[in-house]
Amino acid sequence: MQKEISSNVSRTIQTKLVLPPDTNHMGTIFGGTVLAYIDEIAAIAAMKHSKKAVVTASINTVNFLSSAKVGDILTLEAFVLSVGTTSMKVYVKVECLHLETDERRLTTTSTITMVAIDENGRPTPVPKVRLESEWERSLLSEV
């Protein structure tokens, strides 16, 4: 029987400050910058789950729902949502906090497939995941 690991093991949270070099001529954060943040946190979550190095196999979905501006604080949260034999689908959400108004809003959601690799760079098996909440389980039907 294959080992099963809680989704909480992979849960990772990062906070980023939106700075002027991160923004476009409209004063909002570049989509590519957000994608780089998403790829990084997805890799960390997958590595925590698999205890292996990982590579990005695909960016399955990205939903840009609202933008962030200079001075806003981004909070990224990621966890392993499902697994195959060597792959892990990681869910990432990005929220924005505007300090002056204390307004919080969801800016981006994404799912990324990461593959665990061994010391020879070949795909290697990963443990199953046990989702811990109804909200997490509900995400499976959305992706």
Which pLDDT score is estimated for 2? 64
Residue 137 lies in a domain: no
Residue 72 lies in a domain: yes
Dihedral through CA 11, CA 12, CA 18, CA 24, nearest 10?
-70
Which stretches of the chain drop beneath a pLDDT of 50? 1
Q: Which domain holds residue 90?
A: 4-132
- We report the CATH number of the domain holding residue 22 as 3.10.129.10
Q: Is 18 helix (H, G, I), strand (E, B) or coil?
A: coil
What pLDDT digit, counting tens, does each position of 94-113 carry?
999 998 899 999 999 999 99
Residue 139 lies in a domain: no
Residue 86 lies in a domain: yes
Which pLDDT score is estimated for 3? 86
Q: What percent of the chain has pLDDT over 90?
A: 92
Domains in the chain, number:
1
Q: Is 67 helix (H, G, I), strand (E, B) or coil?
A: coil
Residue 142 lies in a domain: no
Residue 71 lies in a domain: yes
Which pLDDT score is estimated for 1? 44
Which pLDDT score is estimated for 38? 98
Dihedral through CA 23, CA 29, CA 30, CA 31, nearest 10?
180
Residue 16 lies in a domain: yes
Residue 22 lies in a domain: yes
